[in-house]
Amino acid sequence: MTIMWTYRRLNNYMFKDFTIKVPSFQLESGEDSGDLEVACCLYGALDKPIVVVLGGISASRWALDCPNNSRAGWWQGVLGQSDVLSCEHCCLLTFEYFSFSENIINPPVLTPADQATLLSHIQNTLNLPQFHAVIGSSFGGMVALAFAALFPNALRHLVCLAAADKSSVKSQALRKIQRDIINLGSQFAVDSQSQQQFVALARALAMVGYRGEEEFEQRFQNPIPGTALQQVTSYLTHNSERFAAQFSASRYAQLSRSIDYHQVDVSLITANTLLIGFTSDQMVPTKFINNMGNNITGSCQIHLLDSLYGHDGFLLEVKQLTAIFNTFFREHSHDYIERNHRCASGY
């Protein structure tokens, strides 16, 4: 497949938003994905080292702000502060996770490994060289771990934030309740707007798990009885309704379920690895990250950060993450000498 790399300039970097066709491939479940059209973005010129950026299930290909897009970049805070990951030094690649059409009843089970296989197809379809790094946070961290295990020669560096090689039982239980709420919506909602209310309720429950307990206490504590509950309710309602307006019930349920099937043999990972966890994260216990780091074959650094923000520390701990990224990637600055001139399929 031939892609015409016609860029346009946004801010101080070159940018391309495009869609590619990926032929059907076998899923981890043994079923077929079907032919896919995948929306991708490239931030920066392709002759720079390529860094893949993957976020949570709600993340899109818009990792950086785009003036022509109404939604702000989901990782603008971190990427916008990082010198080593700026578009001056790197070409950032993002893509939309795939899910099956809402018209498909009982769709096949997807896993993060299936998204990793899709990333491999993107790499080869676009004839891209070995990735300088794959950086994944939350769900994207699971995808990044799976990619590094399945395609160890396709990347040099792996950065995984707020994710582990398997899901905790507590997080699986919370997601099951969220999906039960969504299923109730499919049974009792009379129209799409009513269905959105159930999706919003499921998302609100997820947000309670994502944020740290101490943050809630500091942010919403009020001596007047009932006021704290009103404040936190307003916060959850605003953010969950905004999410539900952009995310279908089917897609949310599919990607949520996929996390329950996540499991990676990290002994297959040979890339130079950086693991980052948050001590207040209720979804990904730090002991999971430590255990995973002990079993990764390649060299591995582990940073466990204190944060008010729990699981969402990967979005909000800008200063801490920027400092870690700067140190990690500057230690490997010699890798930038080699420009992109080899096909990914040759590795």
Domains of the chain, each with CATH number or no CATH: 8-166+265-346 (3.40.50.1820), 170-258 (1.10.1740.110)
β-strands 50-54, 155-161 pairing: unpaired
pLDDT score, position 139 = 98
pLDDT score, position 333 = 61
**How far, CA to CA in Å, does 93 sit from each of 131, 297, 313?**
10, 26, 22
Q: Is 166 helix (H, G, I), strand (E, B) or coil?
A: strand
User: pTM here?
Assistant: 0.93
pLDDT score, position 79 = 92
pLDDT score, position 177 = 97
Distance CA 199, CA 277 (A): 28
pLDDT score, position 68 = 65
Enclosing H/E stretch for 9: strand 8-10
Interaxial angle between packed helices 192-210 and 227-244, expressed in degrees from 0 to 180 and rounded to the nearest 10: 120
Distance CA 248, CA 107 (A): 14
- Reading the block at residue 299, the tokens are 């060299």
pLDDT score, position 152 = 98
pLDDT digit string (tens) for the chain, length 347 residues: 445 455 566 566 778 999 999 999 999 999 999 999 999 999 999 999 999 999 999 999 999 987 666 668 999 999 988 889 998 889 999 999 999 998 888 999 999 999 999 999 999 999 999 999 999 999 999 999 999 999 999 999 999 999 999 999 999 999 999 999 999 988 887 777 888 999 999 999 999 999 988 999 999 988 888 899 999 999 999 999 999 999 999 999 999 999 999 999 999 999 999 999 999 999 999 999 999 999 999 999 999 999 999 999 999 999 999 999 999 999 876 555 444 544 443 33
pLDDT score, position 344 = 43
The closest of 70, 103, 141 to 315, measured between CA atoms, is 141
Tell me the three-class secondary structure of 85-145, residue by residue: CCCCCCEEEEECCCCCCCCCCCCCCCCHHHHHHHHHHHHHHCCCCCEEEEEEECHHHHHHH
pLDDT score, position 346 = 37
pLDDT score, position 1 = 44
Provide the Cα torsion 102, 107, 108, 111; round to 10°.
40
Q: φ, ψ for residue 298 (rounded to 5)?
A: -75, 170
